[in-house]
Amino acid sequence: MKAAVLQNSVGVGGRSKVLAKAIESLDENSYSVDIHTLTGLEGVTRFLNYYQIENVNVTGVSHRGSSVPSSTYQQPVLNFAVRDDLGQYDLVFNSNNCIRFLPLGPRYVHYVHFPTPLIPRVDPKYNQLLYRIASAPLTLLSSLTPAQPDGHVFTNSSFTLNYTEKAWDLIEPQVLYPPALESVMLREFTGEGVVSVGSFHPNKRQMFQLQIAKQFPNTKFRIIGSLASESYYKKCREYVADNGLDNVSLLTDISDQRLRDELHRSRVFIHTMENEHFGIAPAEGMNHGCIPVVHNSGGLREVVPDPEFRFNSMSECKAILDDVLSGSCPPIRSIKTHLEQFTEENFKITLSEHF
pLDDT at position 124: 60
Please work out, in degrees rounded to the nearest 5, the angle formed at the alpha carbon of residue 173 by the alpha carbons of 170 and 176: 170
pLDDT at position 45: 94
Q: What is the pLDDT of residues 2-17, one digit of tens each?
A: 999 999 999 888 889 9
pLDDT at position 168: 81
Who contacts 69 (Cβ-Cβ below 8 Å, separation ≥6)? none
pLDDT at position 115: 87
Q: Mean pLDDT score of the chain, rounded to an integer?
A: 90
Q: What is the pLDDT of residues 137-167, one digit of tens each?
A: 656 565 555 656 678 999 999 999 999 988 8
Beta bridge pairs of residue 59: 34
Q: What is the pLDDT of residues 174-233, one digit of tens each?
A: 999 999 999 999 999 989 999 999 999 999 999 999 999 999 999 999 999 988 889 999
Mean pLDDT within 309-329: 96
| pTM score, whole prediction | 0.89
CB of 35 closer than 8 Å to CB of 60: yes
- Domains annotated for the chain, with CATH where assigned, are 2-176 (3.40.50.2000), 194-341 (3.40.50.2000)
pLDDT at position 76: 87
